[in-house]
Amino acid sequence: MTGAPSARTPERRTQRARDPQARRAALAVATMEVIAEAGVGRTTHRAVAARAGLPLGATTYYFPTLDDLIAAGLRHATDQLRADLDDWAQRLAAAPDLAAELTELTREYLADRRQVRIEYELCVAAARDAALRPIAETWMDGLPEILAPAAGADAARDICALLDGIILRALVMESELDAPGLTAAIRRLLTNAG
C-alpha cells in the first residue's frame, strides 16, 4: 500500500505559505469595510480580523495600534481611488464622446454595488470624522480635475454633482442606470459650458 498513510505514520500537513503583503492588503480592505459599516469609533482589531478572515494576532502583528490599522486602511482606500481616477482619466482623454464614456464609466462603477455602498458610506462618514476626509476629497476634487480641461471648471463641477446624485439614487432605489438619460444630461451640461 504505497502512498497511503499508515496508522503509525501521521499524515503530513502542508502549512499554507503566508503572504505578508496579501495579509496587509486584506486587513486594509477589511478595515475600510468595518469603518464604512460601523464608523471609526467602533472599529477594532477584532472586528477587522473577523472581516478579513484572519486571526486576531495578524492585525496586531502587522498593525500594532488601532491608529496604524486605520491609517493603513485609509491609505489603501485612497490609493485605490487614485488608481481608479487615473483609469477614468485615461479613458476619458481617449474618448471620442466624453458624455458617452462618462456614462459607460458610471455604469461599470455601479456594477459592484457593494463596493459603491462602502465608498459612499465612507464619504458620509467623512462628514463626521476628519480622518476620513482625504478619501472623500480624493473623489470630490479628483474627478472635476480630470473633467475640467475638456469641459471647463464649472461644467466639470456640475457633471460631478450630477454623477454623485445619479449614483446615490441608483443605490438608494436599487435601480438600474438610465444610460441614455445620463448621457443626454451630461451633453446638456457640456453644451451649456461652451
Q: What percent of the chain has pLDDT over 70?
A: 91
Domain ranges of the chain: 20-193
* Mean pLDDT (whole number) for 134-145: 88
Model's pTM, two decimal places?
0.77
Q: Which of 31-45, 119-133, 154-168 has the lowest mean pLDDT?
A: 119-133
The tens digit of pLDDT for each residue in 9-35 reads 444 333 334 789 999 999 999 998 998
119-123 CB contacts, 8 Å cutoff, 24+ apart: 119/36, 119/77, 119/81, 120/167, 120/168, 120/171, 121/36, 121/37, 122/32, 122/35, 122/36, 122/77
Q: What percent of the chain has pLDDT over 90?
A: 59
Q: State residue 182's pLDDT score.
A: 98
The tens digit of pLDDT for each residue in 88-116 reads 999 999 999 999 999 999 999 999 888 88
Indicate whether 7 pLDDT > 70: no
pLDDT band of 130, cuts 50, 70, 90:
confident
The topology (CATH level 3) of 20-193 is Tetracycline Repressor; domain 2 (1.10.357)
Q: State residue 11's pLDDT score.
A: 43
Cα(8)–Cα(64) distance, rounded to whole angstroms? Answer: 43
Indicate whether 194 pLDDT > 50: yes
